[in-house]
Structure 1
């Protein structure tokens, strides 16, 4: 199952990529929402091999996920692979410069079940795919607007 969307941002590609590399900010945001996030690699700068262990509640059950940065090509591409008991997938962010001050961000999330109970979970998600896709697109659009505002404040 796959979710994807695109947004255009009024900011240069380098600035957008730098904002997307604020991994500590993403960690804090997840913790504010109740997740436990722990960085498990020893890298000093963003790149391939970054890893996190994440524990969060979803549909009334605690989920454990391990995230790993598997592709990091500045300033146009990032790929995070995730794995949990029963599920695996990818989260990809692609950037394309439309002009000096405009960037297109394409984000996709792919979910693959690994066992029967996960297949049932994914099947229930497929039944709600329309509403989940709307929520996914809305969240990405909100974050894109936040990045635009942050860039305008800093520029």
Structure 2
């Protein structure tokens, strides 16, 4: 199962990349939403090989997921591989400078099932695929507008 979305942002590529790679901010946002996030290896610098362990509830059941950054190519791409008990996936985030002050942010996500329960979960997601794709694009659009505001206000 694959999803992708892209959004153009009124900000330079380096600024967009820096904001998107502010992982401490994302970790805090996840924790506020009830997701337990632990970055392994200590330190604040995030590079290829950085790993996070997460715990969260999905459909009322506790789940664990490991996320590893497999590529960190400033300022053009980040790639993450994720694995849980029954699902694996990857996310690629691409940055393209459209002009000195405009950047295209593209996100592609792919999920695959490794077990029967995971196949059933993905199958139920496929049934609502058009709604999920639309929601994925809306969330990326909202995120892009937030990045533009942060760039304008220096934060």
TM category, shorter:
over 0.9
Say if 1:41 and 1:52, in contact at 8 Å, map to a contact too: no
Q: For 1:88 and 1:30, locate their aligned partners in 2 and report how far apart those are by CA, in whole Å.
A: 20
In the alignment, structure 1 segments of 5+ residues that lack a partner are none
Q: For 2:142 and 2:44, locate their aligned partners in 1 and report how far apart those are by CA, in whole Å.
A: 29
Q: For 1:14 and 1:46, locate their aligned partners in 2 and report how far apart those are by CA, in whole Å.
A: 16
CA positional deviation for 1:44: 4.3
- Residue 117 of structure 2 corresponds to 117
CA positional deviation for 1:60: 1.2
Q: Does residue 67 of the first structure (1) align with residue 67 of the second (2)?
A: yes
- Residue 139 of structure 1 corresponds to 139
Residues paired across the two proteins, number: 155
TM-score by length of 1: 0.97
Q: For 1:31 and 1:78, locate their aligned partners in 2 and report how far apart those are by CA, in whole Å.
A: 22
Q: Does residue 152 of the first structure (1) align with residue 152 of the second (2)?
A: yes
CA positional deviation for 1:41: 2.0
Which 4+ runs in 1 deviate beyond 3 A? Answer: none
Q: For 2:75 and 2:42, locate their aligned partners in 1 and report how far apart those are by CA, in whole Å.
A: 22
Deviations 1:72-121 (A, max 9, x none): 10000000100000000101100000000000000011111001110000
Secondary structure of residue in 2 paired with 1:5 = strand
Secondary structure of residue in 2 paired with 1:154 = coil
Q: For 1:61 and 1:134, locate their aligned partners in 2 and report how far apart those are by CA, in whole Å.
A: 25
Q: For 1:57 and 1:44, locate their aligned partners in 2 and report how far apart those are by CA, in whole Å.
A: 27
- Residue 95 of structure 2 corresponds to 95
Which segment is superposed worse, 68-77 or 33-42? 33-42
CA positional deviation for 1:42: 3.3
In the alignment, structure 2 segments of 5+ residues that lack a partner are none
Say if 1:30 and 1:37, in contact at 8 Å, map to a contact too: yes
Q: For 2:12 and 2:35, locate their aligned partners in 1 and report how far apart those are by CA, in whole Å.
A: 32
Secondary structure of residue in 2 paired with 1:151 = helix
